Structure 1
Amino acid sequence: MNFLTLSTEAAAQGGGIQGMLVSFGPFILIIVVMYFLLFRSQSKKAKERQRMLDAIRVGDKVLAAGGIIGVVNSIKEKSMFIKIAENVKIEVMRSSVNGVLEKGEETTKE
């Protein structure tokens, strides 16, 4: 059935708005529950990612955007330097780090 059919049947039965709310109640409930499940899931993932970014230390082997793998050499507030080869360091934004591959020993800066 479509919405127009349901609304005309509810009006014909004399239920009016109350009848429509009762018939659409389960649909509204499902939409509300799905919204909270999706919202909760997204916020949980965002918190996990922020914890991972905050836990990055010098010496950790990380995977950055674009598939760049390197060892963290130094960390700034919003960026970090990653050593990707001998005598090759690049600066990447902290937000571009996709994951920590290995926790490393904290080393001195070169």
Structure 2
Amino acid sequence: MKNATVIIFYVILMVTIFLPAYLANKKRKQQQKEMIDNFKVGDKVVTSGGILGTITNVLSETLEIKVDKNAKITVLKTSISSVEKK
């Protein structure tokens, strides 16, 4: 009887610790997916490497970003860390 109580306590403790972390991670992944699905030409973006630019072309897996007057780079959609809509 005493062992069952201890096991139940540890199970409740584990759920209390890991459930909020799991739910927060799930929410963050959903927000990242929504951001990736909604890229538009003209959006200002910041890559995970800190590069600032404006989207000039949206492809299936990549984005073309204008970073200067005559400089464009191609990056993976998943490398974008934040977006500022135009």
Question: TM-score scaled to structure 1, two decimals?
Answer: 0.73
Equivalent position of 2:20 in the other structure:
37
In the alignment, structure 1 segments of 5+ residues that lack a partner are 1-17, 105-110
Amino acid at match of 2:5: V
Q: Name the structure with the higher strand share.
A: 2
Q: What SS class does the counterpart of residue 8 from structure 2 fall into?
A: helix
Shift of 1:62: 0.2
Task: List gaps (5 residues or longer) in structure 2.
Answer: none
1:83 aligns with 2:66: yes
- State percent identity of aligned pairs: 27
String of CA shifts for 1:36-92, please: whole Å, max 9, x gaps.
221111111100111112121000000012110000000100001000001110000
**Residue 22 (structure 1) shift:** 1.1
- The count of residues paired between Structure 1 and Structure 2 equals 86
Rg: which structure is higher?
A: 1
Per-residue CA shift, 1:1-60, capped at 9, x if unaligned? xxxxxxxxxxxxxxxxx3211133222211023222211111111001111121210000
Determine whether 1:61 maps to 2:44.
yes
Structure with higher helix content: 1
Q: Give the counterpart letter for 2:22 in structure 1.
A: F
Q: Over aligned residue pairs, what C-alpha RMSD do you find?
A: 1.2
1:103 and 2:76 matched: no
Q: What one-letter code is carried by the residue in structure 1 that aligns with 2:85?
A: K
Q: TM-score, normalised by structure 2?
A: 0.91
Q: Give the whole-Å Cα distance in 2 for the aligned partners of 1:34 and 1:23.
A: 17
